[in-house]
Amino acid sequence: MAIYAISDLHLSFGIENKAMEVFGNKWKNHAEKIKTNWERVVLPDDVVILSGDFSWATYLEEAKQDFDFLNSLPGNKFLLKGNHDYWWETLKKMNDFIKDNNFENINFLNNNAFDLGTYALAGTRYWGYEEDTQDNEKIFNREIMRANISLNMAKEFGKPIIFTTHYPPDDKIIEAVRDYDIKIWIYGHIHTNYEEHIVNVSGIDTWLSACDYTNFKLIKIAD
- Tell me the per-residue pLDDT of 91-100, one tens digit each, with 9 for 90 and over: 999 999 999 9
Question: Got the DSSP string for 121-174?
Answer: EEEE----TTS--TTHHHHHHHHHHHHHHHHHHHHTTTS-EEEEESSPP-HHHH
pLDDT confidence tier of residue 21, bands split at 50, 70 and 90: low
Instruction: Assign residue 59 the CATH number of its domain.
Output: 3.60.21.10
CA–chain centroid gap for 126, Å, is 11
Range of the domain at 109: 3-222
The answer to whether the CB of 47 falls within 8 A of the CB of 78 is yes
Nearest CA-CA partner of 177 in 146, 218, 199, 131: 146
Residue 19 has pLDDT above 80, yes or no: no
**7-21, 54-68, 134-148 — which is least confidently predicted?**
7-21
**68-82, 103-117, 188-202 — which is least confidently predicted?**
188-202
- Cβ neighbours, 10 Å, residue 138: 11
- pLDDT (0 to 100) of residue 131: 58
Residue 17 has pLDDT above 70, yes or no: no
Residue 35 has pLDDT above 90, yes or no: yes
Total structural domains in the chain?
1
Work out the mean pLDDT of the chain and round it to a whole number.
93
pTM: 0.95
Residue 176 has pLDDT above 70, yes or no: yes
- pLDDT (0 to 100) of residue 135: 80
